Structure 1
């Protein structure tokens, strides 16, 4: 099983849908070449340089952590059942209550809609919270999500990053 990347005082807990097979094999989140997570994270300003998946341990020093809704690895997120996503969301809410990040950022709007029963959710900040954490939905960085580019994913991540400097009004 892929281990979460966590630290104290997280600003943002980045939450993938589930690990890909390469991530499971290497022990590194978003490990498949061509996944846009690491380049977008850097372009958004969350990290001062482009990190390799093997450098994921550095994320807590930037106030970031990584987890997944569902721990089971698969070739495609579409292989997950609705029940797995819903159960994963329940377990994620428990982790968020313990970790107390400022923001829970879900990387994938379709998975968020299913897991959290928010059928009308769109990319961006959500009116709902998970525990005390604000929820922000980001595009899925997988190469299978072809209508998003590294640049447009980074722009959404940058919107989230900029929101951290503003007080929450919810």
Structure 2
């Protein structure tokens, strides 16, 4: 099954995951694995008024949020992707941002961002460059495999992005 882009014009944030995991691909839902912390981080940081499930991903649009992936091909682990796939994903993400013009593009996964855009020194947080006309943020990967960021720290970084957007309104 394909995991659809949840996009529309005028989004506050277009979140961009790396690629679907096998369960996400089977369900056609972003961040579908129960141990993934994307949905809890989204809620704890104030982007959504309640904890949403992956099955409710279409409702993100009503909150000014969208979601896509750098690479459509599902894998068990993101490190199975090739550098070429990630670079092509960066080009695709740039085209999506050009078409839909979100205020911010937030790439969820610093290692994938570095590979997709050739930014070897990129760190978590706001970036100096833009994607099309959108501000660019890099957020930590919310996968349970990322031991560097537990949910409170993940929610804090998502919350910094949320605060920047709130100040811009």
The verdict on a shared fold, with TM-score over 0.5 as the criterion, is yes
Q: What is the alpha-carbon distance in structure 2 between the residues aligned to residue 7 and residue 95 of structure 1?
A: 10
Deviation at 1:91, TM superposition (A): 1.1
Q: What is the alpha-carbon distance in structure 2 between the residues aligned to residue 97 and residue 132 of structure 1?
A: 7
2:147 corresponds to 1:146: yes
Q: What is the alpha-carbon distance in structure 1 between the residues aligned to residue 89 and residue 152 of structure 2?
A: 29
Instruction: Assess if the C-alpha contact under 8 Å between 1:70 and 1:85 holds in 2.
Output: yes
- Find the counterpart in structure 2 of residue 36 from structure 1: 37
Q: What is the alpha-carbon distance in structure 2 between the residues aligned to residue 36 and residue 26 of structure 1?
A: 17
Q: What is the alpha-carbon distance in structure 1 between the residues aligned to residue 17 and residue 114 of structure 2?
A: 14
- Find the counterpart in structure 2 of residue 45 from structure 1: 46
- Find the counterpart in structure 1 of residue 138 from structure 2: 137
Structure 2, gaps ≥5 residues long? none
Deviation at 1:7, TM superposition (A): 2.6
- Find the counterpart in structure 2 of residue 126 from structure 1: 127
Q: What are the equivalent positions in structure 2 for 1:4-153 lying under 5 Å apart?
A: 4-153=5-154
Deviation at 1:8, TM superposition (A): 3.0
RMSD: 1.1
Q: TM-score, normalised by structure 2?
A: 0.97
Runs of 4+ in structure 1 off by over 4 angstroms are none
Instruction: Assess if the C-alpha contact under 8 Å between 1:8 and 1:60 holds in 2.
Output: no
Structure 1, gaps ≥5 residues long? none
Q: TM-score, normalised by structure 1?
A: 0.96
Q: What is the alpha-carbon distance in structure 2 between the residues aligned to residue 9 and residue 88 of structure 1?
A: 21
Q: Give aligned pairs, total.
A: 168
Q: What is the alpha-carbon distance in structure 1 between the residues aligned to residue 6 and residue 151 of structure 2?
A: 22
Q: What is the alpha-carbon distance in structure 2 between the residues aligned to residue 165 and residue 16 of structure 1?
A: 22
